Structure 1
Amino acid sequence: MQRPSTSSPTGDLSDGSRREFSVKPWGWKWRSSYWFVTFVVWLGVATDLLVYSMVIPVVPFQLEELGYKHPASLTGWLLFAYSGGLAIATIPVAVWSEKYDARKLPLVAGVFILIGSQIMFMEAPAYWLMCLARTLQGVGSTMVWVVGLALLCDESPPELVGRQLGIAMSGLSLGTLVGPPVGGGLYTRFGFRGPFIFGIIAAFLDLAFRFLIIEGKSASKLRTDTIEKPDNEIAMETNDNSLTSDTEVENKKVSFVQVLRLLLRSHRALVAAFLTFVYGIVYSTQEPVISSHLNSVWGLNSSKVGLVLLASVIPTLFASPLSGWLADLQGPSIVIIISLILTVPWYVVMIIDGHLALFITAFACAYFFASGVLSPLTVELASVARSIDGIGYAHVYGAFNLAYGIGTTVGPVVGGQMYDHINKGWLAISLLAVGLLGLSVVVTLFYVGEKPVAQSFIRRIRLL
């Protein structure tokens, strides 16, 4: 005898399907919110910069203790190795992330690589192994700088991207703020392994939060209650999802060569990459020599160097959120121009070998205004991704990371060599920064934004 039909008006859903929709992960709402994603990316950036910057005041003294000469140059090569790993891994990670729509997996893998690189550096018996460890650290860092920023743009409302990116990018300042003094203090108290053990603990905390992320697509499925929808809504939703899937598949079919061609044809993308490169090289030329400069001019040891960097970086905690918020309101171009113009005078003041308080003030102001460039740049790149068919967020942030990686690869080597081999090395480094920043102002005037500032100004003059 045939059993009577038990199908519901909503369609033939099995008990298994019902259970699939009714059982939801713990805390799925807050774990899939863009605020939680913002926090995780912020924490990832902060951890990355913490681990990166802790060795800056430590390595020169450790190299001297091991009997190496020219510690500034050798420290520069270690920073070169990190940036080299960053640059090498960027393109494969960006292409992989967009092709397979992978966000969470690369983020988790990046922390494991970071932890492994710290253990290798801590136990390295030779200088070349230290370089290899820093290269692997750069590979791990690529995940948060490419995939993390792409995930944040995926999850955030377009009108709030600048604010959320600004908050996440403030992790850069926090990591830079905490890293040097913690590294110097732990090195003085516990020796060379102290800073690395602290960094490994921070990385495990970062890993725990990355595991908790629920990506947007998974969250959308959890939010969709298909059981209570009538047949016609399910059919319409299915058609919409099919169209969306077709569009996504078409975007994923764009090859790396096509992506490269599209980005190279975009003036906005090229200029954003150039500005990122300039930021990287200006920022990193000072890194390998700042400890030596403070030691030679004012006689500071590693702990005091860390305190100077601490006092200088505190204001930058507010620069990224503020500039990101302003970029949402006024557009990225005007914020970038103002930040660059206000940065230049302080690099000139840093040339003066007078009072230490004056140097710290100039250093803090220079870092504050320079940090205000990054958030608007990431907003500009997100806008570029939305304006070019076939280009995803991971692609543009891959370009961002590659440009920054090249800049921070070249910068430490240039800075270390200039400081060691030019009579007034610090003066030369500061003047190089002034020249690059001035060039960046001119380029930004003409090419950043949907309506560049210079073009808008010229139109207004013609209308007079």
Structure 2
Amino acid sequence: MPTIPKFLQSRPYGLQWRASPWFITLGLNVLSPGITTDFLIYSLIIPVMPFHLQQLGFSEISTLVGYLLFAYSGGLALSTPIFAWYSERRNSRKGTLMFSLLALAASQVLLMESREYGIMAIARVFQGISASVVWTAGLALVCDTVPEKKVGRYLGLAMSGLPLGQLIGPPVGGALFDRFGIRGPCIFGVIVIAVDLIGRLLLIERWEALFWGFDPAASVDDSFDRSSTLPNYTEPQYGTFSAEASIPDEEGRQDSYTFDSEEIDYINPPFDRKIGTHEALTVNLQRDHISFIRVIKELCMSSRAVAAMVNSFVYGILYSFQEPTLPVHLQRTWRLTSSQVGYVYIAAALPAVLSPSLAGWFADYTGTEWATFVCLLLAIPCWIAVTIPANLSFFVIAFAFENLCTAAYVAPVTTELALVSRRIPGVGYAHAYGAFNFAVGIGASLGPVIGGEIFQRFSQGWTILNFVAVAVIIATSLVVALYTGESPLAKRLRRGGKVPTSKFIHGAQYVGE
């Protein structure tokens, strides 16, 4: 009989709520895998670094800030293949997520103590490495836990951590910098990391919950029943255990699992020493172990997957394009300080906190093609409006709507990747989000550098860079119309607006022709 690991020899306290989709998803938003933590610490220094570099005597500030953002995105892009591969090789995603905290803490210490530009860049690389784990293992953890038909709304809820981090980070960073210098926001970041550690220790992954006879995905619909969730479960006689069983997904396919890093099948639940029986279920959590290069190759063979990668790349450009230039633009135009720049971010990020959740729900209800296209379409007038030379109030309102659309855009994109990955043999969720991370990292590497250079080189740099973004959005909208979703919008137009069939499965995914 196989040896049961120590951490599975006693039922975890609070199993059902610690493994529930709500806790996992809100944890990804607020605590455990830390999208909010990642983006909060990322955005802490956005209103701070231009002023910090000025204090240190540097010139061409927007260009230098752009390259610091490039260092972050470069670290994210380069480390993503490693962690995507590693996360799919290991059964547990929690250990990988814990490692990201060490890289994030190291980034804060380096940034706090460094006065050399090169060391600051290294600190940002470490932060990018941490983010690559959150955006691969973290998003994969949500998809592991929730049923496919509701993946959009749960990913949208998790993605609300992006604007939430942006809502908290810049104003807190600006205020702490004005009072304590660069050490203020960095120490605050370390405190947030410590809180994040608690959430990561609390979460229980689905494979461990299945070991104890609880399926978190079934609990989403409040229809959990042990016999129906684990259909091959039987109450064995004394001293016996079932050798093998499997869990069908919603399409009737059999998911397989192994419970340990050494690929040994374990018994579920462990031996009850008081009763002397084995309530057993061996569930094979084994995943296909393929290289990241092969994942990219498999994704590139699907036009739908390529479109999702293009959207990921564009998202990376959009959310980073203005970052090195916005504080300088606000300082030049309205003479704002770092604290006042932070307040602008508050006003802009507040409406965007709920938009990913709404976009995720919309993607589940109508399909990812509509949700993605609408988000891009609504973003165009917002990017144009921020170039209008009006008063500060008008700018803040326009910037808020721009953030709302950009934050909403990522929810249907990540949902599309989750749906695509389930239909490509050998591609797991961590693989798909590794590809997403890689594409976003490349876009976010180019965005601040190009934006910073345009702003620095042209007298009307702010207007030019925003109209470049509008051109990118229009081109991406065409890609979305042609290739995104089970039934792309362009294909519907050729059919006279009719969808292939009226039957909906798994979040408005159409079947049949």
Would the TM-score normalized by the shorter structure come out above 0.5? yes
Aligned-pair CA distance for 1:113 = 1.1
1:127 to partner: Cα distance: 0.9
- CA 1:171/1:227 → structure 2, altered by over 3 Å: closer, same or farther? closer
Gaps of 5+ in 1: 1-12
**Residue in 1 that maps onto 2:256:** 244
Aligned to 1:32: 19
Give, as a single letter, the amino acid of the residue that structure 1 aligns with 2:23.
Answer: F
Tell me which residue corresponds to 2:135: 145
Given the superposition, is the C-alpha separation of residues 397 and 203 from structure 1 closer, same or farther in structure 2, using an over 3 Å criterion?
A: same
Question: Residue 91 of structure 2 aligns to a residue in which SS?
Answer: coil
Q: Deviations over 1:106-126 (max 9, x none)?
A: 111101210111111101131
Shift of 1:239: 4.5
Q: Does 1:229 align with 2:235?
A: yes
Distance 1:371 1:253, change over 3 A: closer
Give SS of 1:387's match. coil
What is the alpha-carbon distance in structure 1 between the residues aligned to residue 497 and residue 245 of structure 2?
A: 51
CA distance in 2, matches of 1:425, 1:227: 65
Let me know the Cα RMSD of the aligned residues. Answer: 2.5
Aligned residues of 1:251 and 1:391 also touching (Cα < 8 A): no
Q: Per the alignment, in what secondary structure is the counterpart of residue 423 of structure 1?
A: coil
CA distance in 2, matches of 1:20, 1:104: 13
Contact in 1 for aligned 2:318/2:406 (Cα 8 Å): no
Q: Distance in 2 between matches of 1:47 and 1:20?
A: 27
Inter-partner Cα distance in structure 1 for 2:411 and 2:484: 14
Secondary structure of the residue aligned to 1:435 is helix
| Residue 159 to residue 111, structure 1, CA distance change in 2 (3 Å) | same
Mapping 1:13-28, distance limit 5 Å: 23-28=10-15
Q: Which amino acid letter does the alignment assign opposite residue 230 of structure 1?
A: P
The 2-side partners of 1:227 and 1:327 are apart by 35
- Of residues 370, 381, 388 in structure 1, which corresponds to 2:424? 388
2: CA distance, partners of 1:199 / 1:454: 46
- What amino acid is aligned across from residue 236 of structure 2 in structure 1? P
- Quote the residue 1:61 is aligned against: 51
Change (3 A) 1:372 1:229: same
In structure 2, how many angstroms separate the alpha carbons of the residues matched to 1:440 and 1:228? 52
Give 2:395's aligned residue: 359
Given that residues 96 and 102 in structure 1 are in contact (C-alpha distance below 8 angstroms), is that contact kept between their aligned partners in structure 2?
A: no
User: Structure 2: how far apart are the matches of 1:134 and 1:432?
Assistant: 26
- 1:190: Cα distance to partner? 1.4
Q: Deviations over 1:26-54 (max 9, x none)?
A: 22221111111112111200010110001
The code of the aligned residue for 2:36 comes to A
Please show how residues 21-170 of structure 1 align to structure 2 within 5 Å: 23-43=10-30, 44-170=34-160
Q: How does 1:53-452 map to 2 (within 5 A)?
A: 53-223=43-213, 229-230=235-236, 238-240=244-246, 244-245=256-257, 251-452=287-488
C-alpha displacement of 1:240:
3.6
Query: In structure 1, how many angstroms separate the alpha carbons of the residues matched to 2:7 and 2:48?
Result: 53
Classify 1:192/1:258 alpha carbon distance in 2 versus 1 (closer, same or farther; 3 Å).
closer
| Amino acid across the alignment from 1:192 | I
How many residues in Structure 1 have an aligned counterpart in Structure 2? 448
Distance verdict in 2 for CA 1:27–1:342, change over 3 Å: same
Letter matched to residue 26 of structure 1: Y
- Cα distance, 1:461–1:280 mapped onto 2, change above 3 Å: closer
Distance 1:363 1:229, change over 3 A: same
Q: Percent identity?
A: 40
**Preserved CA contact (<8 Å) 2:44 2:173:** yes
Is the partner of 1:102 in helix, strand or coil? coil
CA 1:243/1:194 → structure 2, altered by over 3 Å: closer, same or farther? Answer: closer
DSSP-derived class of the 1:252 partner: coil
Contact 1:32/1:216, CA 8 A, preserved across alignment: yes
Following TM superposition, by how much is the alpha carbon of 1:254 offset from its aligned partner in structure 2, in angstroms? 2.8
Given that 2:91 and 2:285 are in contact with CA atoms closer than 8 Å, whether structure 1 keeps it comes out as no
Contact 2:140/2:430 (<8 A) preserved = yes
Taking structure 2 as the reference length, the TM-score comes to 0.83
